[in-house]
């Protein structure tokens, strides 16, 4: 018996280069060295009076006062795609999870890069098409978490994490303004680890390229985004016997036999800094996205700011048109070139042991969106009304065949953050008119109010989602051999939430209430099921900073969550995280 993927499926890499190309010959290490060299050269050239290109501008022959800035200072702001708020880089060093892919409440298999999930109940609440593969979501670069920068000087950042068992994470960032109105940002991240046990090694590669351009008159702007994530994680299905943990013969946990996967597939002597040998048995998830958004302000008010020698034009929009095109690929694979007979027969109900297991789902999604904005207050870009329509095509390739789908949906949004920053209102909605996900919708509203500087902020919100279950719950999927006959009903979630932020007490209280209906889940390793009876989940949390001494600080997060009603959901009642450390300047006043 041989279970194989179709020959038309694309290669596993994020980009397929010719065999005789320079990249194929030099490999990933050579490519990284070249990228690093180019970035160093750009950074060096960028330090040579980056404002000199504006020297001929303006009506005066004198120098711009911007040139009197200190050489070691840089001004950097960034924004996210669906927000016009300009933010500063968070350079705090005490929050380790700003630089680590997994949030504090997530757990994995004890090895960076392996499948993970949140200990806190947090259901998936997006309508429309979804592949259903979310175990590696924290390691994927997405459009939502991508930044678009603007900087006065080139800026680079290099992060390196090294663990006691050769775990490593490299995070490289570089941004530079090509012109005053055009910025380019590049990020590369490598996560690699051999793991503690056999067949636990991981190897993840991510890249991100973003560009933000504004015309000189500020009426046109464009956002370009290229994303790629190639995630690989070996699978062991656990060790064969727990008694091996107490045996002196297995002092090195790598030697303990696992249920699936080859034995002795890694040597710390031969490869002290890598993620081990090639992954023979395991999961590979590759995703890539190209996104281009263009905006043009049709009606608005002109203005300008005058400096010593420059006249900087401004434009306050009243009516804006926007077009966005997004092309994404999602490729989920599982390979086992030497499957263990007993495991597949006993746990997955295979009739006989296959020679090879190769499962693959590949999707190509193209979305074209057109939207219109209206700004009631021209001087407040944080207040607007948006309405749009999108057409989406999805083409899937499974082991057993192919399928083409489409969606047509409308969306709307209202935001209002007052200029005095006391009120923050956000309301969004999507409704799928026709296509595969017809009838899906989501409605979201949030109201935030600053009570006072001493009492802090109060936020209240409501969310309702009606969605078609993910493609992993479909018999057409290569991974859907545990899906029963028939169709699953649409999942419906009602979410009520609230929070109180008290800066004087350095305390943040939150509460989330979920009413779940038609909740999908898996049982007995691979059997897909759906809970048709409604049930409730309540999650309450407190985040507090304690000053034990002037410089010894304790930060703690405590959550209590409870399920009410008959439910297949199993969650811990109490979850907490804590961090204690020194926070100060170590005697250096400018630190």
Q: What's the CA gap between 511 and 523, in Å, rounded?
A: 29
pLDDT at 267: 45
pLDDT at 315: 84
pLDDT at 32: 54
Tokens read off for 466? 């009606």
pLDDT digits (tens, 9 = 90+) for 78-108: 999 988 888 898 877 778 888 899 999 999 9
Q: Taking CA 412 as the corner, what is the angle to CA 411 and CA 418, rounded to the nearest 5 degrees?
A: 155
Residues linked to residue 351 through DSSP beta bridges, in sequence order: none
End-to-end CA distance of the chain: 65
Residue among 325, 18, 27, 42 nearest 186 (CA): 42
Q: Give me the phi and psi of 499, to 5 degrees please.
A: -155, 150
Q: Taking CA 512 as the corner, what is the angle to CA 508 and CA 518, rounded to the nearest 5 degrees?
A: 160
pLDDT at 309: 67
pLDDT at 168: 94
536, part of any domain: no
pLDDT at 56: 36
pLDDT at 16: 44
Give me the tens of pLDDT residue by residue for the chain, a chain 591 residues long. Answer: 334 433 333 334 444 444 444 444 445 555 554 555 555 455 444 444 433 333 333 333 344 444 445 566 788 999 999 888 888 988 777 788 888 999 999 999 888 999 999 999 999 999 999 999 999 999 999 999 999 999 999 999 999 999 888 899 999 999 999 999 999 999 999 999 998 888 889 999 999 999 999 998 889 999 999 999 999 999 998 888 899 999 888 888 888 999 888 876 554 444 444 445 578 899 999 999 999 999 999 998 888 776 666 777 888 899 999 999 999 999 999 999 888 878 888 888 888 878 889 999 999 999 999 999 999 988 888 899 999 999 999 999 998 889 999 999 999 999 998 877 788 999 999 999 999 999 999 999 999 998 888 888 999 999 999 999 999 889 889 998 888 887 799 999 999 999 999 988 999 999 999 999 999 999 888 899 999 999 999 999 999 999 998 889 999 999 999 999 888 999 999 999 999 988 888 777 766
- Count structural domains, the chain: 1
Whole-number Cα distances in Å, 3 to 135, 542, 572 = 24, 50, 38
Cβ neighbours for 563, distance < 8 A, ≥ 6 positions apart: 121, 535, 536, 537, 569, 571
Whole-number Cα distances in Å, 54 to 29, 48, 179, 216, 232 = 38, 13, 9, 13, 47
Residues in the chain: 591
492, part of any domain: no
Residue among 582, 575, 574 nearest 555 (CA): 582
Q: What's the CA gap between 78 and 136, in Å, rounded?
A: 26
pLDDT at 331: 96
**CB 120 within 8 Å of CB 105:** yes
Q: What's the CA gap between 411 and 542, in Å, rounded?
A: 34
Q: What's the CA gap between 103 and 543, in Å, rounded?
A: 14
Cβ neighbours for 29, distance < 8 A, ≥ 6 positions apart: none
Q: What's the CA gap between 353 and 339, in Å, rounded?
A: 7
Residue 213, domain extent: 2-51+78-470
Q: What's the CA gap between 46 and 40, in Å, rounded?
A: 10
451, part of any domain: yes
146, part of any domain: yes
pLDDT at 1: 37
pLDDT at 83: 86
Placement of tokens 């034995």 in the chain: 263
pLDDT at 381: 85
Q: Quote the DSSP letter at residue 489.
A: P
Question: Residue 333: exposed, middle, or buried by beta-carbon count in 10 A (0-12, 13-18, 19+)?
Answer: buried
Tokens read off for 302? 């002109």
Other Cβ atoms within 10 Å of 172 Cβ, number: 19
**CB 312 within 8 Å of CB 363:** no
pLDDT at 348: 85
Placement of tokens 């008119």 in the chain: 433
Q: What's the CA gap between 229 and 247, in Å, rounded?
A: 39
- The SS3 assignment for 245 reads helix
Over its C-alpha atoms, the chain yields an Rg (Å, rounded) of 26
pLDDT at 463: 98
Other Cβ atoms within 10 Å of 403 Cβ, number: 14
pLDDT at 499: 96
Other Cβ atoms within 10 Å of 323 Cβ, number: 14
pLDDT at 39: 53
Residues linked to residue 530 through DSSP beta bridges, in sequence order: 520
569, part of any domain: no
Q: Is the dihedral of CA 417, 420, 423, 424 positive or negative?
A: positive
Tokens read off for 564? 């009410």
Residue among 538, 557, 464 nearest 498 (CA): 538
- The 3-state secondary structure of 300-318 reads EEEEEEECCCCEEEEEEEE
Q: Quote the DSSP letter at residue 239.
A: B
Residue among 472, 437, 571 nearest 514 (CA): 571
pLDDT at 265: 53
Cβ neighbours for 136, distance < 8 A, ≥ 6 positions apart: 115, 116, 231, 233, 283, 285
481, part of any domain: no
494, part of any domain: no
pLDDT at 35: 55
555, part of any domain: no
């Amino acid at each position: 018996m041989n279970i194989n993927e179709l020959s038309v499926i694309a290669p596993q890499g994020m980009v397929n280069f010719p065999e005789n190309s320079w990249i194929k010959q030099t490999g990933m290490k050579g490519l990284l060295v070249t990228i690093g060299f180019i970035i160093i050269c750009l950074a060096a050239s960028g330090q040579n009076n980056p404002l000199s290109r504006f020297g001929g501008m303006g009506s005066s022959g004198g120098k711009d006062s911007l040139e009197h800035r200190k050489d070691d200072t840089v001004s950097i702001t960034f924004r996210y795609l669906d927000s016009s708020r300009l933010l500063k880089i968070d350079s705090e060093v005490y929050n380790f999870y700003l630089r680590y892919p997994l949030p504090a409440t997530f757990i994995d298999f004890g090895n960076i890069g392996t499948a993970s999930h949140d200990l806190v109940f947090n259901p998936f609440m997006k309508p429309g098409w979804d592949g259903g593969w979310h175990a590696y979501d924290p390691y994927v670069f997405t459009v939502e978490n991508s930044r678009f920068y603007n900087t006065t000087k080139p800026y680079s950042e290099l992060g390196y994490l090294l663990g006691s068992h050769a775990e490593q994470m490299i995070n490289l960032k570089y941004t530079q303004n090509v012109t005053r109105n055009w910025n380019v940002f590049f990020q590369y991240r490598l996560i690699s680890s051999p793991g503690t046990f056999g067949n636990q090694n991981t190897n993840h590669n991510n890249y991100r390229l973003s560009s933000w351009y504004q015309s000189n008159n500020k009426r046109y702007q464009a956002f370009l985004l290229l994303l790629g994530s190639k995630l690989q994680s070996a699978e062991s299905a656990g060790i064969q016997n727990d008694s091996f943990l107490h045996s002196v013969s297995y002092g090195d946990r790598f030697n303990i036999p696992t249920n699936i996967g080859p034995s002795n597939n890694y040597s710390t002597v031969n490869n002290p800094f890598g993620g081990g040998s090639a992954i023979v048995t395991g999961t590979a998830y590759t995703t890539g996205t190209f996104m281009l958004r263009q905006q043009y302000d049709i009606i608005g008010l002109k203005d300008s700011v005058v400096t010593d020698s420059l006249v900087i034009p401004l434009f306050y929009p009243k009516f804006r048109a926007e077009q966005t095109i997004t092309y994404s690929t999602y490729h989920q694979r599982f390979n086992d070139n030497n499957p263990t007979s007993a495991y597949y027969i006993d746990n997955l109900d295979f009739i006989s042991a296959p020679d090879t297991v190769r499962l693959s789902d590949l999707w190509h999604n193209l979305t074209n969106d057109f939207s219109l904005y209206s700004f009631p207050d021209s001087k407040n870009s944080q207040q607007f009304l948006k309405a749009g329509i999108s057409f989406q095509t999805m083409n899937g390739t499974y082991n057993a065949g192919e399928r083409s789908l489409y969606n047509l949906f409308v969306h709307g949004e209202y935001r209002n953050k007052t200029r005095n920053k006391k009120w923050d209102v956000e309301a969004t909605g999507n409704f799928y008119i026709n296509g595969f996900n017809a009838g899906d919708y989501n409605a979201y509203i949030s109201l935030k109010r600053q009570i006072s500087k001493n009492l802090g902020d109060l936020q209240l919100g409501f969310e309702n989602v009606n969605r078609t279950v993910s493609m992993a719950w479909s018999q057409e999927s290569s991974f859907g051999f545990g899906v029963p006959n028939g169709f699953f009903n649409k999942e419906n979630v009602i979410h009520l939430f609230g929070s109180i932020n008290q800066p004087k007490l350095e305390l943040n209280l939150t509460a989330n209430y979920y009413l779940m209906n038609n909740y999908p889940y898996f049982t007995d390793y691979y059997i897909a099921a759906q809970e048709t009876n409604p049930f409730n989940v309540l999650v309450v949390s407190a985040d507090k900073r304690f000053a034990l001494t002037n410089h010894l600080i304790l930060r703690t997060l405590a959550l209590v969550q409870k399920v009410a009603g008959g439910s297949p959901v199993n969650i811990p009642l109490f979850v907490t995280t804590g961090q204690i450390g020194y926070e100060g300047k170590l005697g250096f006043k400018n630190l």
